[in-house]
Chain A
Amino acid sequence: MPDLAVEMQETLQEEERVPVLKAVNLHTWFEIRKFGFFKAGDVRALDGVDFELYQGETVSIVGESGCGKSTLARTILGLHRPTKGKLFFNGKDMAEFKKEDMKAYRASVGYIQQDPYGALPPFMTVKRILEEPLIINGVKDKFERQKRIRNVMEEVKLAPIEDFLPKFPHMLSGGQQQRLVIARAMILQPKMLVADEPVSMLDASVRVEILQLLRSLQEKHNLVIIYITHDLSTVRYFSERIFTMYGARIVEKATTKALLSDPLHPYTQALFKATSDPDAANLKAYKEVPAGEPPSLLNPPKGCRFYPRCAKIIKGKCDHFEPPEFHIGDDQSVFCWLYEDQGKQ
């Protein structure tokens, strides 16, 4: 008997080690056509991304607009089909999902959009907005639906519930609208949330409130949260890990603590230096900003994507060969030739 218990424990641990989401060499390209017929090229919006996410993990994806972070989110949500590479959910290949599997998958992944007002249908009441996902996913009992709507509204602190139910989105403030979007994402009790810039449209004081709400939901339900942002300063309060993206690729992966104390990739360092904290000393100094603009994804540079703007370029290497992933310590890995000697591949 004890053997069986040990065995069970082992299988349990084995199961725990299966990542909730795993991406292997993920590419999402968009075809550009000339005259609607001839192929003129591909926009490589996502060009070779690998990562693993485990239950209960929060990860922030940081980068500028056009770096592919929203494409990554939409590929994860199943809104774009990957051009190359594979995406595994709980160990199952998403390319082999049947229609029912996809429906179940969509129910277990919640999406929080950037602009709450744009994301909510203006002609539906709060009650209807929250009820619809339940109806679609076959919760037939009316009282069960009501109970779940109440529970989720309590969780996101849209109180008093009775007052909010008959309201339309335009009657709510920005913060309340974003809570409603979160409630809608949470109503099917998902395992994972994808939050695409959830606070960038909100005021500073409300921003903190929403971040804390997401954080408490994550802790309570042991969710995986993918938090996409361009604002490095909110990351500290939210996630355990950070991926930095540049030119459709991940350039650095690290725990938040390691990244904030010592960013390694020259691009992450540039982002770091460009972020202003309120400080009177800022008035006296100019910022260091790398020259140039992000690369065209139609025709990305050979070698490292950042080399045309990089001050620490190694000539003959960075502009010819793509940097592999170098692991620095346990918590950090970076795609940059500068760390060839220090890190192991």
Chain B
Amino acid sequence: MNKTLLEVKNLKLYFRTSKGPVQAVDDVSFKLNRGKTLAVVGESGCGKTSLAKAVLRLLPRNIMVYSGEIILDGEDIMQYNEEQFRRDIRWKKIAMVPQAAMNSLNPVLRIVDQIIEPLLIHDRDMIKDKALARVKEMFKIVGLPEDFLYRYPFELSGGMRQRATIAMALATNPELVILDEPSSALDLLTQANLMNVLKRIKHDFGTTFILITHDIGTASELADEIAVMYAGEMVEKCHAEYFYTDARHPYSRKLMSSVPTLREDKELVFIPGQPPSLVNPPIGCRFAERCEQRFAKCSEHPPTFDLEHDQQVQCWLYTAGEEVKHA
């Protein structure tokens, strides 16, 4: 078995709009090892969800550019045609829990009919009883009572519905699960409960997750690695243990210092200004306009520099592999 489960190379996703192409995902590359969790963090509109949708090829009609390589288990799934992708990848190898998943259940179908569907569609030999047994098993794992299967979505609370959608994503035993803001619409205690469930799944089954969130606090519950996105680009990626204390990119640092903490009293700072428009982003570094450490070189587009601890940063400050102080 390959140690690397997913490798994304130079992934681009541009949308066509009346104002011009929107560069939602621009030249993003990363690797994700089996059984690990990558948290993608960033402000709203930075392309986190577009990245997830690009990986799963859930695209709207107004696509202008969709290119790059997505290598899953050694195979470039970008080469697959639509039918092949639907049959072999979507929900079979990669599943997704969409944003506000609790509202994504069909209100007029019982939970069981919805959850069982991917199992029956993706496996022709699957008989209904076997599928039902599998779904019941999934319900036990996410911590829902079995009889809830026969209820309608409105009879469940938000946290329970969220867990049902997670059960649905896991039912086909996919290798990679993309979670898009799984906990942001939930209450604090429900959220903590859900993170416990996800953590248990991760430990017991070795499922690989991509966790998309803007809440770095909750991300730290699950993430082995953190990727920071800004204006469609991945500006930094590193191991979680280094990120919280030793983020490198000026944007990541600002982002970390804007996170309020409960246990530690620190001065909060905010990032003045706004992210650039993705229709006509700056040619150079996209963060330069808001960056306190910018210098002449920032008007050119920075490449990705590899630093120690397997840390990757897209910033000119690290040209020599070490942070350079510019006056």
Contact = CB atoms under 8 A, between A and B. Distances in A.
Most buried by A among B214, B255, B259: B259
B187 A64 contact: yes
Nearest to B224: A283
Contact of B260 (A237, A271, A273): A237
Contacts of B101: none
A231 to B, nearest CB: 8
Contacts of B218: 276
A273 B195 CA distance: 13
A342 interface: no
B217 to A, nearest CB: 4
A279 B245 CA distance: 8
A203 B192 contact: no
Interface string B184-226: 0001111111011001100000000000001111111111100
Interface stretch (B57-65, B113-121, B174-182, B264-272): B264-272
A320 interface: no
B185 to A, nearest CB: 10
B264 A277 contact: yes
Given A260-B262, A270-B189, A287 B220 contact: no
A278 B217 contact: yes
A289 interface: yes
Contacts of B293: none
Interface in B212-253: 214-224, 240-241, 244
B196 A287 contact: yes
Contacts of A208: 258, 260, 268-270
Nearest to B44: A203
B262 A278 contact: no
A237 B265 CA distance: 9
A65 B187 CA distance: 7
Interface residues of A, number: 39
Nearest to B274: A173
A56 interface: no
Given A274-B189, A280-B240, A287-B195, A204 B255 contact: yes
B105 interface: no
B192 A289 contact: yes
A277 B217 CA distance: 5
A232 B262 CA distance: 7
B214 A203 contact: yes
A280 B262 CA distance: 15
Contacts of B187: 64-65, 230
A210 B229 CA distance: 23
A270 B191 CA distance: 12
B191 A204 contact: no
A276 B43 contact: no
A289 B222 contact: no
A83 interface: no
Interface string A264-296: 000000111111111110110011011001000
A203 to B, nearest CB: 4
Given A203-B43, A208-B258, A290-B189, A275 B217 contact: yes
B254 interface: yes
Interface string B288-311: 000000000000000000000000
Given A64-B189, A270-B189, A274-B191, A282 B221 contact: yes
Nearest to B42: A203
Contacts of B44: 174, 203
Contact of B221 (A212, A230, A283): A283
A273 B258 CA distance: 21
A77 to B, nearest CB: 23
Given A173-B274, A274-B188, A283 B240 contact: yes
A287 B188 CA distance: 12
Contacts of B263: 277
A65 B158 CA distance: 11
B43 A205 contact: yes
A206 interface: yes
A212 B269 CA distance: 9
Nearest to B188: A274
A209 interface: yes
A279 B258 contact: no
A274 B189 CA distance: 6
A92 interface: no
A234 interface: yes
Given A278-B216, A283-B222, A293 B157 contact: yes
A236 B265 contact: yes
Interface string A128-139: 000000000000
A279 B192 contact: no
Contacts of A273: 192
A211 B223 CA distance: 28
A116 B167 CA distance: 34
Given A205-B271, A275-B217, A289-B189, 19 more contacts: A64-B189, A173-B274, A203-B214, A204-B258, A205-B255, A205-B270, A207-B260, A208-B258, A209-B270, A232-B262, A236-B262, A270-B189, A274-B189, A276-B192, A276-B221, A280-B241, A283-B222, A286-B196, A289-B196
Interface of A: 64-65, 173-174, 203-209, 211-212, 230-234, 236-237, 260, 270-280, 282-283, 286-287, 289-290, 293
29 contacts: A64-B187, A64-B188, A64-B189, A65-B187, A173-B274, A203-B214, A204-B214, A204-B216, A205-B258, A206-B270, A212-B268, A231-B260, A237-B268, A270-B189, A271-B188, A272-B262, A274-B188, A275-B217, A276-B217, A277-B262, A278-B256, A278-B261, A279-B220, A280-B241, A280-B244, A283-B221, A286-B196, A286-B200, A287-B192
